[in-house]
Structure 1
Amino acid sequence: MSIKTPITIAYGDGIGPEIMQATLNILDAAQAQIDPQVIEIGEKIYLQGNTSGIPDSAWQLLKRTKVLLKGPITTPQGGGYKSLNVTLRKTLSLFANVRPCVSYAPFVATQHPNIDLVIIRENEEDMYAGIEYRQTEGVYQCLKLITQPGCEQIIQYAFEYAQKFNRKKVTCFTKDNIMKMTDGLFHRIFNEIAAEYPAIEHEHLIIDIGTALLASHPERFDVIVTLNLYGDIISDVAAQVVGSVGLAGSANIGNQMAMFEAIHGSAPDIAGKNIANPSGLLNAAIQMLVHINQPEVASLIENAWLKTLEEGIHTGDIYSSTYSKQKVGTQAFANAVIERLGQQPVHFKPTDYKKGAYTRIECYGSRPHVCSDKKLVGVDLFIDNHNDIPAKDLAEKLSTLMSPLQLIVITSRGLKIWPNSMIEAPYLRHCACRFQSSADLNNLKSITPQDIIQLLSQCNALGLEIIKTENLYLFDGQLGFTLAQGQ
């Protein structure tokens, strides 16, 4: 008798319980060797006063099973509740979000019948770190954090995935024409790692044109790897281009743990009506079965699901008068899939996940690192200029400071407003004053933290409210900061 793999189940909120039960019924009928263990997370836990949406007991179970099949979650509005999805991904180190996007034409309407691509999204960094601040009366900040190990890990995973699943090309999306340091790092590491996989074609596109091409010519893509925010957006674009967000499953992969879910939300407006399409969660469960090395069961279920689609048994979200023959609810759709277990699709190519072919991909971002020569050369002082002191007057005030640092530029929202600004009415309430050891970027000298402390003390004596500081460094003689627009 086969040993059953323990997995954690979270039914979720809204339509979650309905589609989860439908999915579990199919897994049971297909004799998946799993031992489901249920946790309660989400809206009910939030409303009990737990701002993370998950109790300690659930964490303990997850650590034991290392696999989570999760229904969609409702995050209550207001109250400081944090996204449970983001919490799970970061706490469990689920660095890779893997979203296959396949068209099922003509049975699911789409203008692009030949789509077969996978979006691999970095899952832990970027602006989804959720580090935000309110700095002045009307200025808010969200930090975009990108790390070298994080880039290496997700990009290596994308190439390993392409190699293992016989994909031919990996495309990188960034916005490094604007964000030259953060997105520039991702692009540079992509090029470095791509060179290690000469058999796989690679290309880079700016996210703007990349997204446009994804919408207009999705067939040209095979595997896309990108940063967290971009990946979140384009994966929904791709799912909609395919024909329905309700069909897509998602895998969140770490080196030790994994989480599988549908990409759609909890849809509380249709909860309890037995009309939700369980296909997204079912496809996530199929990915889970491959992950836990039950590829035969995964193939059995996917082929039955494809057979159900091509025979026109559809839920309302994909029903059409042309290709649909029967409109069914959630449980009836699941029953139709169960009835077709063991059958092969005719229109679609049958799925055959090979036993042992999909061993887990482990990537640690452990490429050799060289320690840089790091030199402190200046500081940006961010000021809440609540008295609306004109930039010229502010500069004159700061020129009285006794410091080895020179005031170089004053900016507002990244734009130079002093010296020699052409802007007549800049937004001054939030401004940054850059001090450097020299105005000559090629002749920057080292300073000490004490120099910055003295500068802050003198600014305080002038009645200036410093809301943030950002140290300026050279790394191996290269600037570790960008210049202001117009500088």
Structure 2
Amino acid sequence: MAGFLFRNLCGRFRQSARIDRRLSPRPRCDFVRYVNGTGGHNPRVSAQTDVSAAKKPSIRVTLVEGDGPGPAVCAAVRKILKAAKVPIEWDRQTVRVRRDPITDRMAVNAELLQSAADTRVVLRGPATAPADDGSPVSTALTLHKALRASIGVQLFASVEGHCPFGYLSMVNVRDNVSAEYSEIEHLVTPGVVQSIKTVTRRQSEELARFAFDYAVAHGHRRVTTLHKANVMRMSDGTFLKACRRVKCDYPGLEYNEERLDKFCLQVVNEPCQYDVLLTPSLYGAIAGAAVSAMAGGPATVPYAAFGPDVAVFGTMYDGPAVCRNGVIAKPVINPTGLIRSATWMLQHLGMPEIRLRIEKALDETIRQGVKTGDMDGVASCEQFTNAIVKNVARQER
């Protein structure tokens, strides 16, 4: 009986995959130009022009504030970008997740998808609300799948004034939507559940090529792939083989492979031995959480998801809300991660000079000791934001 159920599920999955391939065009592999802002997601932005150098029409960006600390951190970002005179017109949308009765998969509201298709750039705050049927859901995962934003990038960098583990600089290029994040589970029999981990050569090679291209484009020297091939020989083995094939095209980069558990042990003692991480979905989430704590906390880490048609900029998990020991029902709201994501978005939109100005103002604010509680400071989100705005204005004088 269990075998019959498993074969039936696999058959349905293969049929669904064939339908998805017919409905969706083949994704392009050259994502790195979207990271650098040279691909021009927004047709109104020239790839060769720094729009910060001259007055330009407003660029439309989809804004998803989310819930919890989302509205507060998004308000902080909008205030800072307004102070820097960034020509952006916000298309404010609400994310709603529901279960599709036909596919039994989570789906995102059509209005948000249409806005993202029009603007091709999304800035999102944290969203933790359950689906419409009350079931727990990862809103970010559902959104990334709906937008085919299959590759995620996390940037970890400590800043003077807040270096809990000393200076740290690292990049995590991770899969967003497959392997353990395929969300294919079923009940075999009462008390027994199966979860299917899907790994494909094509998706693995696409992710690896993105990571190596990113390393070359940004001057990194070393790429480390995290795995558990000693346990999951076929799935992680397929991933490693794909990474090795792609590595042959980049002889100038050092390439290493390391088990996830060993990495978690080594990174605490010697973080400087890692440069660019190449990770499947679940391993990337675990490694990213560990490194984010070392870099200053999840609230300080920018995150971006890239696909062939859209780029999504946001934060790790619900990072902006950090609950402190001894503080009851009063979370600390830190907008740093979303601010850094917004400046990354400006680079993507062809505004590198404005990105540098805002990042300098942010770093200067932290060096001056104006920090939120999770960074050993006493400033509120509003006070922290106002200090950044003052430093932005000071640079214009």
| TM-score above 0.5 | yes
Q: Which runs of 4+ in 1 moved over 6 A?
A: 268-274
Shift of 1:31: 1.6
Measured against aligned partners, the alpha-carbon deviations of 1:321-342 in whole angstroms (never above 9, x if no partner) come to xxxxxx2211111111111116
Q: Hey, what does 2:134 align to over in structure 1? A: 79
> 118, 138, 145: which is aligned to 1:64?
118
269-278 or 132-141: which moved more? 269-278
Aligned length: 333
SS at match of 2:264: helix
Q: Hey, what does 1:335 align to over in structure 2? A: 386
Q: Hey, what does 1:306 align to over in structure 2? A: 363
SS at match of 2:345: helix
Do the aligned partners of residues 160 and 199 (structure 1) sit closer, same or farther apart at CA in structure 2, a change above 3 Å counting?
same
Q: Hey, what does 2:262 align to over in structure 1? A: 209
1:156-235 equivalences under 5 Å are: 156-235=209-288
Q: Tell me the TM-score normalized by structure 1.
A: 0.64
Shift of 1:343: 6.0
Q: Tell me the TM-score normalized by structure 2.
A: 0.78
> 90, 93, 104: which is aligned to 2:145?
90
Do the aligned partners of residues 274 and 237 (structure 1) sit closer, same or farther apart at CA in structure 2, a change above 3 Å counting?
closer
Q: Hey, what does 2:177 align to over in structure 1? A: 124
Q: Hey, what does 2:64 align to over in structure 1? A: 10
Shift of 1:268: 9.5
Q: Provide the C-alpha distance between the structure 2 equivalents of 1:342 and 1:205, rounded to a whole number of angstroms.
A: 46
Greater helix content = 2
1:131-146 equivalences under 5 Å are: 131-146=184-199
Gaps of 5+ in 1: 321-326, 345-487
Would you say the 8 A contact 1:41–1:53 is kept in 2?
Answer: no
Shift of 1:267: 4.0
Would you say the 8 A contact 2:302–2:338 is kept in 1?
Answer: yes
SS at match of 1:158: helix
Shift of 1:264: 3.9
Would you say the 8 A contact 1:51–1:81 is kept in 2?
Answer: no
1:326-365 equivalences under 5 Å are: 327-341=378-392
1:366-445 equivalences under 5 Å are: none
Q: Hey, what does 1:279 align to over in structure 2? A: 336
Q: Provide the C-alpha distance between the structure 2 equivalents of 1:23 and 1:275, rounded to a whole number of angstroms.
A: 17
Residues 1:237 and 2:294 aligned together:
no
Shift of 1:169: 0.8
Q: Provide the C-alpha distance between the structure 2 equivalents of 1:194 and 1:91, rounded to a whole number of angstroms.
A: 30
Residues 1:246 and 2:303 aligned together:
no
Q: Hey, what does 1:26 align to over in structure 2? A: 80
Q: Provide the C-alpha distance between the structure 2 equivalents of 1:224 and 1:190, rounded to a whole number of angstroms.
A: 12
Shift of 1:75: 3.0
Shift of 1:52: 4.4
Shift of 1:315: 0.9
Shift of 1:178: 1.6
Would you say the 8 A contact 1:46–1:81 is kept in 2?
Answer: no
Measured against aligned partners, the alpha-carbon deviations of 1:43-85 in whole angstroms (never above 9, x if no partner) come to xx669x9994742111111110111100101133883354221
Would you say the 8 A contact 1:121–1:225 is kept in 2?
Answer: yes
Q: Which amino acid aligns with 1:301?
A: I
Q: Provide the C-alpha distance between the structure 2 equivalents of 1:342 and 1:166, rounded to a whole number of angstroms.
A: 32
Do the aligned partners of residues 216 and 274 (structure 1) sit closer, same or farther apart at CA in structure 2, a change above 3 Å counting?
closer
> 87, 106, 110: which is aligned to 2:164?
110
Q: Hey, what does 2:201 align to over in structure 1? A: 148
Shift of 1:249: 1.1
Q: Which amino acid aligns with 1:12?
A: G
Would you say the 8 A contact 2:303–2:316 is kept in 1?
Answer: yes
Q: Hey, what does 2:38 align to over in structure 1? A: none
Would you say the 8 A contact 2:59–2:88 is kept in 1?
Answer: yes
Q: Hey, what does 1:373 align to over in structure 2? A: none
Q: Hey, what does 1:262 align to over in structure 2? A: 315
Measured against aligned partners, the alpha-carbon deviations of 1:124-166 in whole angstroms (never above 9, x if no partner) come to 2011111111111211111100111110111000011011111
Measured against aligned partners, the alpha-carbon deviations of 1:218-239 in whole angstroms (never above 9, x if no partner) come to 1111100010000011101100
Do the aligned partners of residues 182 and 9 (structure 1) sit closer, same or farther apart at CA in structure 2, a change above 3 Å counting?
same
SS at match of 2:392: coil
Q: Provide the C-alpha distance between the structure 2 equivalents of 1:256 and 1:218, rounded to a whole number of angstroms.
A: 34
> 334, 338, 348: which is aligned to 1:291?
348
Q: Provide the C-alpha distance between the structure 1 equivalents of 2:331 and 2:78, rounded to a whole number of angstroms.
A: 16
Say what the alpha-carbon RMSD is for the aligned residues.
Answer: 2.5
Select the structure of larger CA radius of gyration.
1
Q: Hey, what does 2:90 align to over in structure 1? A: 36
Do the aligned partners of residues 271 and 9 (structure 1) sit closer, same or farther apart at CA in structure 2, a change above 3 Å counting?
farther
8-17 or 210-219: which moved more? 210-219
Would you say the 8 A contact 2:322–2:331 is kept in 1?
Answer: no
Do the aligned partners of residues 206 and 137 (structure 1) sit closer, same or farther apart at CA in structure 2, a change above 3 Å counting?
same
Do the aligned partners of residues 176 and 51 (structure 1) sit closer, same or farther apart at CA in structure 2, a change above 3 Å counting?
closer
Would you say the 8 A contact 1:52–1:83 is kept in 2?
Answer: no
Q: Provide the C-alpha distance between the structure 1 equivalents of 2:105 and 2:205, rounded to a whole number of angstroms.
A: 32
Would you say the 8 A contact 1:98–1:252 is kept in 2?
Answer: yes
Higher RCO, 1 vs 2 (CA within 8 Å, ≥6 residues apart): 2
SS at match of 2:373: coil
Do the aligned partners of residues 271 and 18 (structure 1) sit closer, same or farther apart at CA in structure 2, a change above 3 Å counting?
farther
Q: Provide the C-alpha distance between the structure 2 equivalents of 1:272 and 1:3, rounded to a whole number of angstroms.
A: 43
Measured against aligned partners, the alpha-carbon deviations of 1:374-424 in whole angstroms (never above 9, x if no partner) come to xxxxxxxxxxxxxxxxxxxxxxxxxxxxxxxxxxxxxxxxxxxxxxxxxxx
Q: Which amino acid aligns with 1:332?
A: Q
Shift of 1:30: 1.0
Would you say the 8 A contact 1:303–1:343 is kept in 2?
Answer: no
Do the aligned partners of residues 285 and 331 (structure 1) sit closer, same or farther apart at CA in structure 2, a change above 3 Å counting?
same
Would you say the 8 A contact 2:128–2:138 is kept in 1?
Answer: no
Do the aligned partners of residues 295 and 272 (structure 1) sit closer, same or farther apart at CA in structure 2, a change above 3 Å counting?
farther
